[in-house]
Amino acid sequence: MRPHRSIIFVCIATAALVLPPGGVFAQLCPELVQVGAQLTALDAEIALINDMNTLQLSREQIGSLTPLVEELRATAVAGEQERVALLNQLLPLLTQKRDLALRDEQASDETEGQIAEINNRLIEMDTRLSEALLPFATRLREVLNDPQIAIITGEEDARRQVLDLVDWVRGLDDAAFEQEVPPLAVELADPELGLAEDEVIDLLSLARAMSEEQYQRAGEEIRGRLIELYRPTHEAADRILVQVFLHEAMPRVLAGKLAAMPAE
């Protein structure tokens, strides 16, 4: 399976902040749980700000993204309200199941069937919501430029991975190549992309056999083939775009970025 990586890497540092060195315990104090949640949210927002900083968004782009994000979130909220209604139906059923378990009794087949039906409806609802949000990716692509999209969706990271991979292979001696590359090719291969194990080995062998001059001239073609193993599909990239701009802190971050810009 090809790795799909996005721009957003949220660092969860709460445990390091609230747990003593070498200690692990249940967080039973309400104040501790509350401050931990606040610190986690703040840490995630800082990570999002840093990610947005890499995009170097213009004032015009932020002006276009702000109402688009509001519309995207409104669509998501409508779906979440439907989810809440279903969860409220599930709550008494699970409460009943809990109470029966306390008496070491099993829920009836009817109750289990109702729980399963609601869970299936939740899955179907999530699928519908995902499909309803997906068209926003097209509108986001109209605001962002290609380099920004590549950063967000992980394509830029995929390019770096391929460049590092080929550079590493070109530095291997014969013995190391024979030992390291075949297992790696098995891991990377994706026949659906026309890159089975043998093709991956052939491409890496070709890159390794090139002189520096040849590699500078023709290496891009080889890297262009290998990047298919790392980059997300177009649909996966669209879903990443939507999820990034659906981030809970995104409206605040966009407003903060705009306020921090020098006056024109």
Model pLDDT, residue 37 = 87
In order of 4, 69, 110, 174, the CA distances from 171 in angstroms are: 27, 46, 65, 10
Model pLDDT, residue 14 = 39
CA angle 256, 260, 261 (to 5 degrees): 125
- The conformation of residue 194, written as its DSSP 8-state character, comes to T
CB atoms inside a 10 Å sphere around CB 119:
12
Model pLDDT, residue 19 = 45
Residue count of the chain, please give it. Answer: 264
Model pLDDT, residue 25 = 57
**Rounded CA separation 139/130 (Å):** 16
Model pLDDT, residue 26 = 60
**Rounded CA separation 200/188 (Å):** 8
- The conformation of residue 5, written as its DSSP 8-state character, comes to -
CA angle 141, 132, 46 (to 5 degrees): 55
Global pTM exceeds 0.75: no
CB atoms inside a 10 Å sphere around CB 69:
20
Model pLDDT, residue 9 = 40
**Rounded CA separation 189/238 (Å):** 24
Mean pLDDT by 10 residues, the chain (264 residues): 40 42 63 88 93 94 97 93 94 97 96 96 93 96 96 90 94 94 93 91 94 91 91 91 95 95 80
Asked if residues 52 and 253 have their Cβ atoms less than 8 Å apart, the reply is yes
Q: Kindly give the residue spans of alpha helices, DSSP state H, lying in 57-145.
A: 59-102, 109-133, 136-143
Model pLDDT, residue 36 = 87
Model pLDDT, residue 22 = 52
**Rounded CA separation 36/42 (Å):** 10
**Rounded CA separation 258/200 (Å):** 46
Q: Counting Cβ atoms within 10 Å, is residue 21 exposed (0-12), middle (13-18) or buried (19+)?
A: exposed
**Rounded CA separation 190/197 (Å):** 8
Model pLDDT, residue 32 = 85
Place of tokens 């290496």: 219
Asked if residues 255 and 163 have their Cβ atoms less than 8 Å apart, the reply is no
